[in-house]
Amino acid sequence: MCAGGAWKKKRPTTIRAPSRPAVAAALTLLTLLCFLARTSVVLAHGQHQHLLQRQTLAQCRYDSDCMENAYCWSQKACYCKEDYVVYRNRSNVFCLKVANNIEDSCVADVQCHVTFTPHSECRNNICQCSSAAHFVNGRCYESIGLGRICQTNHNCYVKDSYCVGGYCVCDHDQHSNPERTKCIKNAYLGDTCNNDYECVSENTRCMEICRCKVDYVLSEDGTRCLKAANAVGEACQENSQCREFLQNAFCENGVCTCVPEFHRRGPVCAKDVELGQICVSHNECVTQTYRDSNSIEPMNVQCLEGTCTCAKDYIMSTELGDCIRYSESGATNWQAYGILSLIVFVNVSLWILQKTTEA
């Protein structure tokens, strides 16, 4: 209550939102705590594993109750000393010295396993990597070949290979040889080479340098090998595909086509030779109705004695500039009817004349 006896109204308390720096600091602290918690779990697990490797299961009250290189822990059980590991041989238990370096002396595999992983072994009384493993960065890793499943880069023993996507693969500018025993440098079109498998461009082979193999041609940009066409009508992307084995052909609308003044006869292009003109082969002869054909057999026109002439059972139509069958020619039918009428007229005339003479 104020001096005048009146009550003063309190202002409402405003709760301010935490600033962005405060939120960021809190998140950082939380992340750090999570990391420390996980690390402590990992360390505890590692320590537990290490103790298990040293635990002999022998009971004791004093160090003297334990075997050589062991001590009595909490007056309960014998543990091997630091840098020693338990080795059980039937009913006997020993604490053996852990090997610190490859080729250290040993009597059992377990002495090597602690430092060099289970992919190591005691062979000829020295620690070595097993036959299926190799030594790298102070440990023995399983040797994984190209194209096989791996867990770490150290598994991939082939030079210049790495574990990518769970498989051992060659470096980005290299590829495997056919035996998958080594990585070789990629050779592209025009690069020098010694073997076909060095050339990585599709449809190439090694001929001192990487070139297109037989039945393929180099693209206009020099980066690809394209299939050469063996016949008119085959698919294409560029003119060179139609010119490697064919003459007078080019690429049009995705297929090999004959150039102007040439036509298709079977798999090839032949020069246009019209009726009455000089020819070398019946494949050259064309008419209005017979031009491009998948067949090389003559149809209504043929090359006869060096000239394009209508074939047997066909007659030339001057008006149509074509060779047509007799039955298809209106003029031929008219001529046939005319001749027949003439024969009938002559026979009738002779019969009338004979009757007149007899009379």
Structure tokens given for 347: 């026979």
Q: Which of 193, 242, 251 is nearest to 217 (CA)?
A: 242
Cα within 13 Å of Cα(25), Cβ side: 5
Q: Residues 22, 24, 28, 34: is their CA dihedral positive or negative?
A: positive
**Is residue 326 very low, low, confident or very high in pLDDT (cuts 50, 70, 90)?**
confident
The answer, as to whether pTM is greater than 0.75, is no
d(CA 175, CA 246): 37
Residues making up the chain, counted from first to last: 359
- % helix / strand / coil in the chain, to the nearest 5? 25, 30, 45
**Which DSSP letter does residue 71 get?**
E
DSSP 3-state of 278: strand
Burial 118-133 (b: 16+ CB within 10 A, else e): ebbbbeeeebbbbeeb
Q: What is the pLDDT of residues 75-105, one digit of tens each?
A: 999 999 999 999 998 888 999 999 999 999 9
Mean pLDDT of 241-263: 97
Show the tokens assigned to 129. Answer: 């990597």
Position with higher pLDDT, 231 vs 341: 231
The three state secondary structure string of 272-314 is CECCCCECCCHHHECCCCCCCECCCCCCCEEEECCEEEECCCE
CA 320, CA 274: separation in Å to the nearest integer? 13
Of the pLDDT bands very low, low, confident and very high (cuts 50, 70, 90), residue 45 is very low
CB atoms within 10 A of CB 35: 10
d(CA 297, CA 283): 8
pLDDT digits (tens, 9 = 90+) for 117-145: 999 999 999 999 999 999 999 999 999 99
Phi-psi bin for 351: left (phi > 0), alpha (psi -120 to 50), beta?
A: alpha
Give me the amino acid identity at 322: D
- Residue 102 has phi, psi (to 5 degrees) of -60, 140
Amino acid occupying residue 337 = Y
